[in-house]
Homo-oligomer: A and B are copies of this chain.
Amino acid sequence: MLSTKFAIPDVIFGRGAITHLAQCAKRVGAKRVFFVSDQGVEDAGWVGLVKGILRANGLGCVYFNEVNSNPRDKQVQKGVEIYREERCDVVVAIGGGSPMDAAKGIATIVGNGGEIRDYEGANRIMHPLPPMIFIPSTAGSSSDISQFCIITDMERKVKMSIISRSLVPNISIIDPQLLVTQDRSLILASGIDAMAHAIESYVSKLASPFTELHALNALKLIIANLRPAAEEKDIEALEQLSIASTSAGMSFSNAGLGDLHALAHALGGQCDVLHGWVHPTLLTSVMRYNLPSRMAKMGEIGRLISGSDIRSDQDAALLGIDTLEKLFAELDLNTSLRELVPDKSDLKHICTTATFDACHLTNPRPASPEDLMSICEEAW
């Protein structure tokens, strides 16, 4: 085995973990917190709670919520200006991937100057960021765990993958209680994103024994708990999804992802689709494409997904793919790419753009824009 890296934030996990926020903020030197979230999390009541916790502990708080789903370069720049004007010292974010990624983008520029597009790609951040404490409100993006930050360049219509050890927050506070305010649709979109993280990182070129352990743990828990979490909002099932998402984050942050995410980023930049909804349309087609390069691992995944102990790796892998397609159908999810891409002629540009995404580099099987096009045709 070649040398691999494994880095994660300090994790505080459990129901009620959010109450440790002020103590954590003080530990990293906070006096005046730059606090990022969005309207959805405000409506759920969590923004008010965070403000209350900070206030009760004598910490200043500058609140910023100008964040879209698929956060944008200009929003990051706006946040940077406010952070500087207000002389903040620590970044706190609560939310799904969008507020957390926006917060990472802001922290990157505060620590390094320039514009966010200067840092697109892997390992281009050279100077330290202000301390970051993240609280995920979904079980999916794992931005609270990962080295990844995805920001949309509005001019080029590209979701940029920015990957750096510096983007791992100092502390991730994961409180499964936050998940109960999600609706069915958000639970599913997030859970399937975590599933995609587990599967892509398990077969990634940079997978290591530590990332593999977490990827399989995540996948096992998602298969067992996605449905009861979404249909019944069962708190035990939601807590298991939260563990799963965290494990998936520990895996993909260190092993990287693959062409499913490369395509999802290219597509999201072009069509502004909710990230999680791309996966049911493309995941199984990408799995079929990668199968010849990772037969044994795809067989293992297939057994785990299907619950079968079928001997042949290829048969097990194909059964796993079928089982996933049945699951998506039973959950009534859209699996046609055409529903997401209004103009089919955009596909060519999307496939070319995907080959420049950092996630493309760790896909287990080499893929040209034409190969990606055939995947999209299958998923159309």
Contact = CB atoms under 8 A, between A and B. Distances in A.
A247 B213 contact: yes
A13 B239 contact: no
Contacts of A247: 210, 213
A133 to B, nearest CB: 14
Interface string A163-178: 0010000000000000
Given A2-B16, A3-B12, A8-B8, A213 B210 contact: no
Contact of A1 (B5, B11, B14, B208): B14
Contacts of A17: 3
A256 to B, nearest CB: 16
Contacts of A231: none
B15 A6 contact: no
A246 B8 CA distance: 15
Given A1-B239, A214-B213, A217-B213, A13 B246 contact: no
A165 B27 CA distance: 12
Interface string A232-246: 000000010001001
A10 interface: yes
A172 B20 CA distance: 28
Contact of A14 (B3, B8, B11, B14): B3
B3 A13 contact: yes
A331 interface: no
B3 A210 contact: no
A366 interface: no
Nearest to A8: B8
Contacts of A57: none
A7 interface: yes
Contacts of A8: 6, 8
A5 B13 CA distance: 6
A6 B1 contact: no
Contacts of A4: 12-14
Interface string A1-40: 1111111101111111100100000000000000000000
Given A5-B12, A7-B11, 18 more contacts: A1-B13, A1-B14, A3-B12, A3-B14, A4-B14, A5-B11, A5-B13, A6-B11, A6-B13, A8-B8, A13-B209, A14-B208, A209-B243, A210-B243, A210-B246, A210-B247, A213-B213, A213-B214
